Structure 1
Amino acid sequence: MSLLVIPAAGVQGGAVVRAALRRGRKVRALVRDPARAAPLAALGAELARGDLLDPASLRAASLGIRHVVLQVLTGPVEAMRAMAANALDAFAAAGVAGLVLKLASASRTAPCAEPSLVANAMVEAMVRAAGLPAATVRPTLYLDNLLKDSARRDIVENGLFAPPIAADQRIAWTSAEDCAEAALVLLERGAFGGDHRIAGPAGVTGPELAARLSVGLGRRVHYRAQPVEDFEREVAAAMGPALAAAVASKFRFFAALPEEAEAILAAPFAPQPGLEDFRPTAIADWTFAHRADFMPEEAIA
């Protein structure tokens, strides 16, 4: 059964492509730069050059496709609205049979004022209004954030993980791999109409997270809560002030409203219709599987 993954070149989309190929599915991957996505092609994915802001490329990529896993990239609300509208128009024209909307990060179903959560809710409403059989997959927070350059370097060099999250905040950390598996299970079972919160098997505090990372890596890792202002400056230096402000906004929301953070992040995964037998990956197991990513450069060499 044919599957279109949009976008496919990043951590989250790439996880969906690889998981689908392992399951023997025919995968078309929408990427901006096919040269940079060569590893996906080497695994067997068909690359389609395109962009969520390019309606013609979306229409071409959707032809002959049965299922789609879509993630609307975080950005200004009007840009996200345009991206979602372009994608949904293309899917309708191509006769796509089912869609999983994969949200980029933690979210909630009830209205609130935090901009990224408002944007997520807007995209979800657009998908519902389109009438296409669809399910939503929403993560808590991704363990894959530990693989970003600054976080990975801090763990490798200093044995420290320092996100902008209070040490006593419980989080049931998930992973891009688990969210990809959940999306594919829902498509395979035709389990549309649901809103699926994907979380890890346990909600842990910062020190408890560090203890599990230590088990997976076989060496001591400590946790330290970073001020949101420092985090925003680091992201701005790497990715620009606009994106940094958008990312930091959510962490400020969590800090200001700990009861909301608890509702969104803390509870472990619970069986859901379509995902009754889904088993999330434990933190130590995920860390052990990725331990090569946390090796010092000289050890890799």
Structure 2
Amino acid sequence: MTVLVTGATGTVGGHTVQHLLRAGRKVRALTRDPARARLPEGVDVVAGDLTDAATLTGVFDGVTAVHLINFGQDYRPLANGQEIADLLVRAGVRRVTVLGGWEEGTLEPAIRSSTLEWTDLKPIEFMSNTLTDWGERLRTGGVIREPYGNRKSAPVHESDIGAVAAVALTEDGHAGQTYALTGPEVLTPRDKIRVLSEVTGRDLRFEELTPDQTRKEWVEEGTPPDMLLFKVFGDPPRIGRREMVDFLLRIYGTEHEVGSTPNGTVQKVTGRQARTFAQWAREHADGFRA
């Protein structure tokens, strides 16, 4: 059984590859630039880009299961979902997992209406977002200035997402399922800063901004977090900075029950307790040190 992993050098894809290898599966990895890919020995690395179906000719041949992501390099949903689904069916692929992004695109409905055995993976919040969003600011200044410091979430470790994908791709019982994935605990930004302070040995601080202060700093003065804005809205973004910030203020200021309630799905699927934020923070502590 050969399993193909798209986004194999990405945040989740790399972990999915590792979990599949540990399970004794043959792995083929799809990446835009094989020459730059750093993947384990024994992985069959092939070139291709999900945003361009013409680059995918032959990459699914001999593959029985595929891990897909629903977005391209700019985080925007794929526009060619039907082409991808047709390629998979013609190649004889049996199972797929689809890792969703901020919004559903053309891929999910095309996969769901096909003959493929599909499983949707919907992480509520990646723990790795903490490094993407906060890493540079904490390394250089030791302070995070954001609104709504008591907003709650239950972020999931990217390795746990990969573990769920590996199980769904190789074991029965997951077809037609949509798995919202959370970590095992509820955290606020203040909680995350406390944990990061402990694991780095640094005096890291969270300073809460009012919505008006946020608009002033993030819009009028044009200060970070650009990475956060572009990750949500695409690079280049489709709307102006003020609209982006107002949208994030609405998201931050609204309580999201699904995203702030640990649901135990990781343990149900993998048989193992989901990793904590403290575990993740210890693994990535150097990313927050000056």
- The alpha-carbon distance between structure 1 residues 210 and 259, as it changes in their structure 2 partners (threshold 3 A), is closer
Residue among 258, 267, 290 paired with 2:284: 290
Q: Report what 1:189 is aligned to.
A: 171
Structure 1 counterpart SS, 2:129 = helix
**Structure-1 separation of matches of 2:59 and 2:27:** 11
Structure 2 counterpart SS, 1:24 = coil
- C-alpha displacement of 1:165: 5.7
Question: Matches of residues 78-89 of structure 1 in structure 2 within 5 Å?
Answer: 80-82=78-80, 84-89=81-86
**Structure-2 separation of matches of 1:184 and 1:28:** 13
Q: Report what 2:59 is aligned to.
A: 61
Structure 1 counterpart SS, 2:179 = strand
How many residues are aligned here?
Answer: 276
- The alpha-carbon distance between structure 1 residues 141 and 92, as it changes in their structure 2 partners (threshold 3 A), is same
Question: Matches of residues 47-58 of structure 1 in structure 2 within 5 Å?
Answer: 47-58=45-56
Structure 1 counterpart SS, 2:160 = helix
Q: Report what 2:13 is aligned to.
A: 13
Question: Matches of residues 24-35 of structure 1 in structure 2 within 5 Å?
Answer: 24-35=24-35
Percent of aligned pairs with the same amino acid: 23
**Structure-1 separation of matches of 2:130 and 2:24:** 29
Residue among 250, 253, 259 paired with 1:265: 259
- The alpha-carbon distance between structure 1 residues 189 and 252, as it changes in their structure 2 partners (threshold 3 A), is farther
Q: Which amino acid aligns with 1:282?
A: T
- The alpha-carbon distance between structure 1 residues 221 and 244, as it changes in their structure 2 partners (threshold 3 A), is farther
8 Å Cα contact 2:8-2:31 kept in structure 1: yes
Residue among 226, 233, 238 paired with 1:234: 226
Q: Report what 2:235 is aligned to.
A: 243
- C-alpha displacement of 1:91: 0.8
- The alpha-carbon distance between structure 1 residues 81 and 17, as it changes in their structure 2 partners (threshold 3 A), is same
8 Å Cα contact 1:140-1:197 kept in structure 2: yes
Mark the runs of 5 or more structure 1 residues left unpaired by the alignment: 105-115, 297-301
Q: Report what 1:168 is aligned to.
A: 150
Question: Matches of residues 18-167 of structure 1 in structure 2 within 5 Å?
Answer: 18-37=18-37, 39-40=38-39, 42-74=40-72, 80-82=78-80, 84-104=81-101, 116-117=102-103, 120=104, 122-148=106-132, 151-162=134-145, 166-167=148-149
**Structure-2 separation of matches of 1:267 and 1:250:** 26
Higher helix fraction: Structure 1 or Structure 2?
Answer: 1
Q: Which amino acid aligns with 2:118?
A: A
Q: Answer 1 or 2: higher relative contact order, Cα 8 Å, separation at least 6.
A: 2
Q: Which amino acid aligns with 1:80?
A: L
Mark the runs of 5 or more structure 2 residues left unpaired by the alignment: none
TM-score w.r.t. structure 2 length? 0.81
**Structure-1 separation of matches of 2:197 and 2:143:** 10
Q: Which amino acid aligns with 2:204?
A: V
Structure 2 counterpart SS, 1:288 = helix
TM-score w.r.t. structure 1 length? 0.78
- C-alpha displacement of 1:273: 9.7
RMSD across aligned C-alpha pairs, in angstroms? 3.2
- C-alpha displacement of 1:155: 2.0
- C-alpha displacement of 1:121: 5.9
